[in-house]
Amino acid sequence: MARTNFSIKAPPWLRLRTIVFSHGWVDLPPFAWNESTKTLRAVGRINRRIVLLEIEQPKVSRLDVVMTAKGALSESSIDQAKAVINEMLGLSHDFAEFYELAGEDFAWAKELGSGPFLRGASVFEDAVKMLATTNCSWSLTRQMINRLVDELGEKGPEGVRAFPTPEQMAERPSDFYRDVIRTGYRAKFFKEIAEISASRKIDLERWKQFPGTTKELVTEIRQVPGLGRYAAENLCKLLGRFDGLGLDSWCLKKFPMVRGPVRGDVAKAIERHYKRFGAWQGLALWLDLTRDWHQKDVTVPEPFKKK
DNA sequence: GCGTCCAGGTCTACC
DNA sequence: GGTAGACCTGGACGC
C-alpha cells in the first residue's frame, strides 16, 4: 500500500465545505464527509487503478490531500490526481459573470464560495446517480447507490469501493438491478445506460467538453433512456451549465418557503422569478433553495441527515 | 399491523 | 404539443 501527501493551491474564493454540501452527492458512496476533521473522502481511478483521496482545506489558500493506492505512486500519478480533484470540485468553472450579474442579492453566496457542484469521478457516475434520484425519496436514492457500490464496486485501498464502471454494470442483467439493487422499474434504465456508455454509443465523458449549446446537450442527454428533463438539466448543472432550472417536486415545495407564498402555478412563478439571470438562472434558483444548508449553526444540512 | 400517500420523474399512448 | 396513466420502492402517517 502506498501513501503520499501533496497540496493544491486553492483559488481565494474556494471553500471546500461549501462545494461538498453544494448538493446531495456527498451523501452517496464512494463519497464521505468527516465533519469533525472537515475531510472529504473521494475515490477515483488513475490508470485504471483505484485511488483513495482524502481532501481537506487547512488554509483558505490550500487543499491538502492524502492519496492512497495499492502499489507505488509516481509524480505523474500525483499530477493526474490533481486533475481528478479539479474535476470533482468543479474548479475549472468561472462564476465571476454570475456574481457580476447577481450583485448584492447573492453577495452571501459569493462570500461562501458557492457555484461549483461536487461531481463524481466520471460523468457516468453522475448520470447513474441522477437516474437514482428520479421519482423517489432521497433515502431510497441512498439505498440504491449504496447497494450498487457494495455489489459491483471494485475494492480499492483500505477497503473502499470505487463506483462501478460502465463495463462492470453492463455485464449484469436488468433483473440484477431490479432484484438485488432494488431499483424497481428503473432496472432497465440502469442496464441501458451502462450498455450505452460501455459501447460508446453515446460518449458520456464527452459532455464535459460538449461543443454545442446547453439545449443541444440536454437533447443528447435525453437520448439516454430514463434521463428526462429534470435529470438532464441537473446533470448540466454539474457540468457547469445553468441555463435550465431542473425543477423537481422538492424545488416546487421549497420555493414558496424561501420566496413567499405563490398563487397559481409554482413552476411558472419560478421561471418568472429567475428569468433575469438568463444563462445562470439554474444556479440562482439552486443557491436560493439551499442557502439554509450553509448557515453557520448547521453541521449537517437537513437533506443529508440519516434516516 | 395495515392501507394509503407520495417522494429531488420518465415513458408511452392517445388526442 | 399537451396530458393521463402506469411504473417500483420504501418511509411517513393515520387508524
For every residue of A186-239, DSSP letters joined together read GHHHHHHHHHHHHTTSS-GGGGGG--S-HHHHHHHHTTSTT--HHHHHHHHHHT
Contact A301, A260 (CB under 8 A): no
pLDDT at position A295: 82
CA distances to A79, A84, A113, A137, A176 from A42, rounded to whole Å, are 16, 10, 20, 24, 26
pLDDT digit string (tens) for chain A, length 307 residues: 899 999 999 999 999 999 999 999 999 999 999 999 999 999 999 988 999 999 999 999 999 999 999 988 899 999 999 999 999 999 989 999 999 999 999 999 999 999 999 999 999 999 999 999 999 999 999 999 999 999 999 999 999 999 999 999 999 999 999 999 999 999 999 999 999 999 999 999 999 999 999 999 999 999 999 999 999 999 999 999 999 999 998 999 899 989 988 888 889 899 999 999 999 999 999 999 999 998 877 777 766 665 5
Round to whole Å and give the CA distance between A28 and A243.
26
CB atoms within 10 A of CB A140: 15
pLDDT at position A30: 97
Nearest nt by C1' to A234 Cα: B8
Q: Among A117, A114, A52, which residue's Cα sits nearest to residue A81?
A: A52
Instruction: Indicate yes or no: strand B within 7 A of the C-beta of A301.
Output: no
Contact A111, A131 (CB under 8 A): no
Stated in angstroms, how far is A24 CA from B8 C1'?
A: 9
Stated in angstroms, how far is A47 CA from C2 C1'?
A: 49
pLDDT at position A305: 63
DSSP string across A4-20: EEEEEEPPTT--HHHHH
User: At which residue does the C-alpha cell 444540512 appear?
Assistant: A301
Instruction: Indicate yes or no: strand B within 7 A of the C-beta of A228.
Output: yes
Q: Which of residues 124-143 of A touch strand B (CB under 7 A)?
A: 133-138, 140
Quick one: CATH architecture of A2-93?
A: 2-Layer Sandwich (3.30)
- Whole-model pTM? 0.96
Stated in angstroms, how far is A136 CA from C15 C1'?
A: 25
How buried is residue A48: exposed, middle or buried, by Cβ count under 10 Å (0-12/13-18/19+)? exposed
Round to whole Å and give the CA distance between A213 and A30.
31
**Which residues sit close to strand C, CB under 7 Å?**
A 135-137, 139-140, 143, 178, 182-186, 307
Fold of the domain spanning A123-238: Endonuclease III; domain 1 (1.10.340)
Q: Which nucleotides of B are covered by protein (CB under 7 A)?
A: 6-12
Contact A171, A154 (CB under 8 A): no
pLDDT at position A251: 92
Stated in angstroms, how far is A137 CA from B2 C1'?
A: 22
Nearest nt by C1' to A185 Cα: C8
Q: At what angle do helices A187-198 and A123-132 cross, to 10 degrees?
A: 170
Task: Report helix, strand or coil for A120.
Answer: coil
Task: Report helix, strand or coil for A273.
Answer: helix
Instruction: Indicate yes or no: strand B within 7 A of the C-beta of A230.
Output: yes
Q: Which nucleotides of C are covered by protein (CB under 7 A)?
A: 7-12
pLDDT at position A29: 96
pLDDT at position A262: 86
pLDDT at position A307: 53
